[in-house]
Structure 1
Amino acid sequence: MTGTIVRLPPFSSPPTTSSGGRCCSRRRISSYVACAKGVRKRSPDDYHATVRALNSKGRTPRKSLGQHYMLSNEINEQLAAAATVQEGDFVLEIGPGTGSLTNVLIDAGATVLAIEKDPHMASLVSERFAGTKQLKVLQEDFIRCHIRSHMESLWANAESSGKSRYAKVVSNIPFNISTDIVKQLLPMGDIFSEVVLLLQEETAVRLAVSSRGTSEYRPINVFVNFYSVPKYVINVPRSNFFPQPNVDAAVVSFKLKQEADYPPVPSTKSFFSMVNSAFNGKRKMLRKTLQHLSTAANIEKALVDVGCPATSRPEDLTVDDFVKLHNLITTV
């Protein structure tokens, strides 16, 4: 299954300007989050609150960590709304920064596990929400941390309070490690039901919108649709960040599949190895790039059996086509 795209009017919230055209959206999203908790919301973050928070730790955004802080509370609320965050949810947040999205998630009634690599930001968020039991902050590199054990620990501690086991990911992640994060999260359908991320616009479109048959079609597209149902949610102009990046961003939702719903392959390792090999010679026919797996004649016959031309290239095949081809020409 390929991703879908839902185009909504873009939000843009520069530090010193506002637009009357966003009032309806602002009321709708704010009402959603407020109703989820039923209590008075904390003061939302903006440009001045973000700068004050950074100054309190003597920090400036670090390019090496991909730090671009969200200035628009509306976008944070849109992220929470895209994941339908509600009372009792468990939410993983990667890179909370100054805690502007954390603030919205807690107000929505979620228990948040925040993973922050920067020790100064981890300290800042811990101090900011020291009065709530709805947040646990870990100062770790998400790419290297054992997220399964951390989530199990969070659930175990909450079970005594009667909260249900329900986990989602909602994050404004560094653009420079977005693909690594997606690859790590999407196969975790046994832990997370949904992953909602703020990504670079170009990456968001590539991952969520079908590019089959074009030069943009890559192994990551097969990976994403193997493990999830992606959806492009909304464009986020670059003016909403501090410091302002050179590109726009976008919110993407990934509905994670359970293992029983994965396409039927005897080995995912073997399957993705074949897919990667197929794309190594992107403009070459599969009968050439997959000859290490079978003869050209067998590959041509398998392609025809799948319903594809014998001269097919990797960008011509859907996820299901790749699955059928794999199961015909490989022995695990």
Structure 2
Amino acid sequence: MKNLATETKKILKDYNIRLNKRLGQHYLIDDSKRQKILSYADLKDDDTILEIGPGIGTLTIPLASRAGKVIAIEKDKRIATILKDRLKDYENVELIIGDALKIDFPYFNKIVSNLPYKISSPITFKLLEYDFDFGILMYQREFAERMIAKPGTKDYSRLSVALYFMADIEILDYVPRSAFLPPPKVDSVILKLTPKGKINGIFERTCRALFQHKRKKARNALIESFHEISADADPRKIVELIDPRLLEKRVFTLTAEEILKISNELKRVIS
């Protein structure tokens, strides 16, 4: 049996396909990492798996062999043609040709994907609008480290704070750039994403306002970016009504719970 790297190169050559790095087209060619992803997914006969960016079916085909149904969403029409050919013996795969950021997802209970890195942030937040058991996902290592960053660290960001409340995130394995064709400029990780809860609009807007000035004190950050929260209120008057102990802290040192407290106080005083 051909190894995954040889098989991938042959398929691309047969169909005269050149992968586009700009579109984040990097195909997994390390079969040991593929087997780990499948193992982490704990696939069952009654699972409906969502896969975003299936490419030529590196994960799709083994997923279809083990799960009840696979919904594969591929944006590149040329690549989708290859995938359709390769899936002709699999009746349990629904192939959707389109932009995953723009379409509504059908029912799924797990997501397993080597996500296109260009859309890591928006696709993660879109996924977390849905109820599902968990996802086994590939991300760029730097992005994954921002997802789980702690207060006071250089990677701590609006992303870290929002995801703290929205999901449990566990890094399962590290994947070197050599595991892909063509190799990206960065290493990757496989992580488990388990939905935990939703966040409200005022919290999201408070995070956006604060993290536009992450090195400043929370008081100054809020005043300077208060337009993100409300266009009507006087920011200087509003911040005087917030707990001063929180506002004296620099934004990047605030815990997620402290930011939630600030947003709750803002909601109370604005309304």
TM-score normalised by the chain length of structure 2: 0.88
Question: What is the aligned counterpart of 2:36 among 78, 82, 90?
Answer: 78
Contact 1:95-1:117 at 8 Å conserved across structures = yes
Alignment partner of 1:115: what SS?
A: strand
1:242-284 residue CA offsets vs partner (Å, 9 max, x unmatched): 1111211111111112xxx446xxxx11211011101111111
Determine if contact 1:168/1:193 at 8 Å carries over to the other structure.
Answer: yes
Instruction: Report the alpha carbon displacement of residue 174 of structure 1 after superposing the two structures with TM.
Output: 1.7
Secondary structure of the structure 1 residue equivalent to 2:241: helix
Task: Note if 1:287 corresponds to 2:245.
Answer: no
Shift in Å, 1:181: 1.4
State the distance in 1 between where 2:146 and 2:43 align: 26
> Retained in 1: the 8 A contact 2:145–2:155?
no
Aligned to 2:170, the other structure's residue is in SS state strand
CA contact (8 A) 1:76 1:104 kept: no
CA RMSD after TM alignment: 1.9
Contact 1:44 1:103 in 2 (8 A): no
Residue aligned with 1:255, SS: strand
Distance 1:57 1:181 in 2: 29
Residues 137-190 of structure 1 show CA distances to partners (whole Å, capped at 9, x for unaligned) of 11111111222xxx14xxxxxxxxxxxxx61111011222212211211232x2
248, 265, 268: which one aligns with 1:328: 265
Q: Deviations over 1:62-115 (max 9, x none)?
A: 123211111122212222222322221011001111111112212222411000
1:207 to 147, 150, 162: 147
Which residue number in structure 1 is paired with residue 232 of structure 2?
Answer: none
> In percent, how many aligned pairs have the same letter?
29
Counterparts of 2:41 and 2:180, CA distance in 1: 21
Asked whether 1:54 is paired with 2:9, we answer no
Conserved in 2, the CA contact under 8 Å of 1:168 and 1:195?
Answer: yes
What amino acid is the match of 1:251?
A: I
Give the count of matched residue pairs. Answer: 258
Instruction: Tell me how far apart the structure 1 counterparts of residues 115 and 23 of structure 2 sit (CA, whole Å).
Output: 10
Distance 2:191 2:3 in 1: 22
* Counterpart residue number, 1:312: 249
CA contact 1:219–1:275 (8 Å) conserved in 2: yes
Is the contact made by 1:303 and 1:325 (CA closer than 8 Å) also made in structure 2? no
Which has the higher relative contact order, 1 or 2, with Cα contacts under 8 A spaced 6 or more apart?
1
Aligned to 1:13: none
Distance 1:269 1:262 in 2: 10
Q: Taking structure 1 as the reference length, what is the TM-score of the superposition?
A: 0.73
